[in-house]
Amino acid sequence: MAGIELRALHKRFGTTDVVRGIDLTVPSGAFLTLLGPSGCGKSTLLRMLAGLEAPSAGQILFDGSVVNDIPPGRRDIAMVFQSYALYPHMTVAQNIAYPLRKRGVPRGERDAAVARAAEVLQLTALLDRRPRELSGGQQQRVALGRALVREPRIFLLDEPLSNLDATLRSHMRRELVALHRRIGRTMVYVTHDQLEAMTMSTHVAVIDGGRLQQFGTPAEVYRRPANRMVASFIGTPGMAFADGMVATGRLLLAGRPLALIGAPDGPVTVGIRAEDVEIADTGVAACVTDMEAVGHETLLTLSGEFGTVTARAPADCRLAPGATVHWQVRPAQLHLFNPETGDRRNAALSPITSSNETTAP
């Protein structure tokens, strides 16, 4: 097991800065997910951890010692690639045994280790097959087997589930979590799929534009997004944003007071998650402009004077596009951001009650 520490890590390709100074400390045994949109630098970061790319500046430490100059084969790490990268001319057994062979592990020990890994991953019946004779899910398991077999201190996984169908993906998600629990090694997982990040990780690092946007547990990242980018990237459907204003202790949206607020006067961006929007008899009037039935529920797009928000409604919701509804949100569930920098603003919010105001939504 090993903890990972990144110090001002920087990577430049030509004139493009792909990773721009990332500092991060991951405890030993963590399941860290590097989450971000395509091209955000998360895969480059993983490749630097693997030693496949050299950092342009900064340091990578495993267990407190700098590994920048240690070649990939000697970092005691294993990596699962998005394309699996199985050796096509080798059998499953030979593929899994390869890292041991390259380390000079004797034949008998090698065979025993392959048998163990194959059993864990239910590959025993497939050991004599070649990769092209396997399904995507089986190839994925072989790639995992090749990583598992030499018991590395850190596992690196580069979008390993992206080529699988939805059912298999959710199955493999659970398998990976179980595997992590069983072997307790540090795992670093790269994905652009927030569902994978939320369900599997102990820690999430949200990356965008080569910079670390937020690092925390999945719950922290979801409940207290550090900025507007994280807020919009995490959560399905995405958080809705509206331009608000703080004036004399009140948060105003479209000129109407929404909540009491302990913050100085000025503009503010208000973020509202779909699950916090309640359809009610009173509140903000809005028109249903779109309805998306996703099976277990219906997502409503509501447009009104506060802008556009998304709300969740039961699957059997009887509304139709064009209908007028009212919605409410509890002030404590609002997210506030600086409209210029996009950074989170923390402020005490409380409802406007009849004793202090009469036009609360």
Partner 1 sequence: MRPALHHLGDRSLGPLLIAPVVLVLGTVIAYPLFAAIALSAFAVDTPTLRSRFVGLGNYAELLGADGRFWPALGVTLVWTAATLALQIVIGVAMALLLNRDLWLRSLARSLVLFPYFVSTVVAVLVWRWLFNDMFGLANQLLMKIGVIAAPLDWLGTMPSALLSVIVVGAWKFFPFVVIAVLARLQTIPESLYDAARLDGAGAWSRFRDVTLPQIGEVLGIVVLLRAIWDFKEFDLVYLLTGGGPVDATRTLPLIVYQEAFGLNRMGMAAAYAVAMMITMLGFFLLYRLAVRGRT
Element (H, E) at 206: strand 203-208
Contact call for residue 88 and partner 1 (CB under 8 A)? yes
Contact residues for 357 (Cβ-Cβ < 8 A; gap 6+): 250, 257
Closest-CA residue to 310 (of 339, 276, 270): 276
Closer residue to partner 1, CB minimum distance, 159 or 276:
159
Of 161, 180, 163, residue with least CA distance to 172: 161
Q: How far is the CB of 104 from partner 1 (least distance, A)?
A: 9
Query: What gap in Å lies between CA 43 and CA 79, rounded to an integer?
Result: 12
89 versus 330: smaller Cβ distance to partner 1: 89
- Closest approach of Cβ 242 to partner 1, in Å? 44
Closer Cβ to partner 1, 87 or 236, answer by number = 87
Q: Is 72 in the site for partner 1 (CB under 8 A)?
A: yes
Residues contacting partner 1: total by CB under 8 A: 23
Task: Find residue 267's DSSP bridge partners.
Answer: 245
* Complete edge-to-edge strand list for the sheet that includes strand 57-62: 16-26, 4-13, 57-62, 65-66
* Residue 98 within binding range of partner 1, rule CB under 8 A: yes
Q: Binding partner 1 by CB under 8 A: which of 17, 21, 70, 81?
A: 81
146 vs 344 by CB, closer to partner 1? 146
Nearer to partner 1, 105 or 254 (CB): 105
Instruction: For residue 50, state whether it binds partner 1 (rule: CB under 8 A).
Output: yes
Q: 154 near 186, Cβ under 8 Å?
A: yes
CB of 126 to partner 1, least distance (A): 19
Question: Should residue 99 be labelled a site residue for partner 1 when binding is judged by CB under 8 A?
Answer: yes
Question: What x/- string results for residues 143 through 172 when contact with partner 1 is judged by CB under 8 A?
Answer: ---x--------------------------
Does 142 bind partner 1 (CB under 8 A)? Our answer is no
Q: Rule CB under 8 A: choose which of 1, 8, 25, 52 binds partner 1.
A: 52
Contact yes or no for 235/273 (Cβ under 8 A) = yes
Q: What is the 3-state secondary structure (H, E, C) of 182-194?
A: HHCCEEEEEECCH
77 binds partner 1 (CB under 8 A): yes
Q: Does 102 bind partner 1 (CB under 8 A)?
A: yes
The least CB distance from residue 118 to partner 1, in Å, is: 17
Candidate list 87, 128, 151, 262; residue touching partner 1; CB under 8 A: 87
Residue type, 204: V
CB of 81 to partner 1, least distance (A): 5
Nearer to partner 1, 47 or 203 (CB): 47
* DSSP states along 101-148: HHTT--HHHHHHHHHHHHHHTT-GGGTTS-GGGS-HHHHHHHHHHHHH
Q: Is 271 in the site for partner 1 (CB under 8 A)?
A: no
Task: State the helix-helix crossing angle for 92-102 and 136-148, rounded to 10 degrees.
Answer: 20
Q: How many CA atoms lie within 13 A of 174 on its CB side?
A: 5
- Per CB under 8 A, which of residues 190..249 are in contact with partner 1? none
Q: What are phi and psi of 220, to 5 degrees?
A: -60, -45
Reduced to 3 states (helix: H, G, I; strand: E, B; else coil), residue 157 is strand
Contact present, 128 and 91 (Cβ < 8 Å): yes
Considering only 23, 39, 103, 350, the residue that binds partner 1 (CB under 8 A) is 103
Residues lying near partner 1 in the complex (CB under 8 A) are found at 47, 50-52, 71-74, 77-79, 81-83, 85, 87-89, 98-99, 102-103, 146
